[in-house]
Amino acid sequence: MPQCLKNTGAILRSRHRVAPLRDCLTRALAQLLGVVAVSTSGFALAADLAPYSDLDLASVARYAPDSRLNNATISQSGESQKILVLQAGEANQLNAAQSGVQQALTVVQAGNNQLATVTQVGLENAALLQQIGVGNAASLTQVGAWNYASLEQRGNNNVAVLYQNGVGNRADVQQLGNGQMVQVSQIGANGHAQVIQGR
């Protein structure tokens, strides 16, 4: 994975962020799929969205020409919300909602028939969600302040549910293989959870 995907928080806080974000997405997709072409003509539905403004940012990219029926439905309210979405393959779906101040989300879905649902409410929550394969499903909810979540699924038909409600919680979840299931719930302050399943 390109280092920039691990440092999206720093990129998003930069005044000159649009070009670095696009470059990062391009490198990530090329590395994941062994390709060199990225199109930003993906399908996105956005409510209360101001792309590339000083308040909210939503960037959606898809692999060209073989990406079809990938959907990203994004709702942003509040101030300085940030979402990066990269989808490659067919029939991948993202539903994302951010409210509050300075939420940050990066979603990478490569493969087919994957579903991601993300809700961020509060102050400066951050999440990285990656799904590579077929038929993976993830639900990620962050409520509160300064929570961080990293969720990665590689394989087929994996299910992950991650819930954070509080302040300063951190969760790192990784599922490798097929048919895995995980559920993580963090309520309170400064919790740390790490889950690794599969090969």
**Domain containing residue 186:** 58-198
Q: Which tens digits make up the pLDDT trace of 136-150?
A: 999 999 999 999 999
Q: Is residue 79's pLDDT more than 50?
A: yes
pLDDT of res. 4: 62
Token pair, residue 86, equals: 């990269």
Residue 23 lies in a domain: no
Is 46 contained in some domain? Answer: no
Per the structure, the count of domains in the chain is 1
Q: How does the average pLDDT of the chain come out, rounded?
A: 79
Burial 28-63 (b: 16+ CB within 10 A, else e): bbeebbeeeebeeebebebeebeeeeeebbbbbbbb
Q: Is residue 64 part of a domain?
A: yes
How long is the chain?
199
Please determine, for residue 115, whether its predicted confidence score (pLDDT) is greater than 50.
yes
Joined together, the tokens standing for residue 179 give: 């048919």
Is the model's pTM score more than 0.85? no
What percent of the chain clears pLDDT 90, i.e. is strictly above it?
A: 54
Nearest to 192 by CA among 158, 156, 153, 166: 166
Q: Tell me which of 8 and 47 has the higher pLDDT.
A: 8
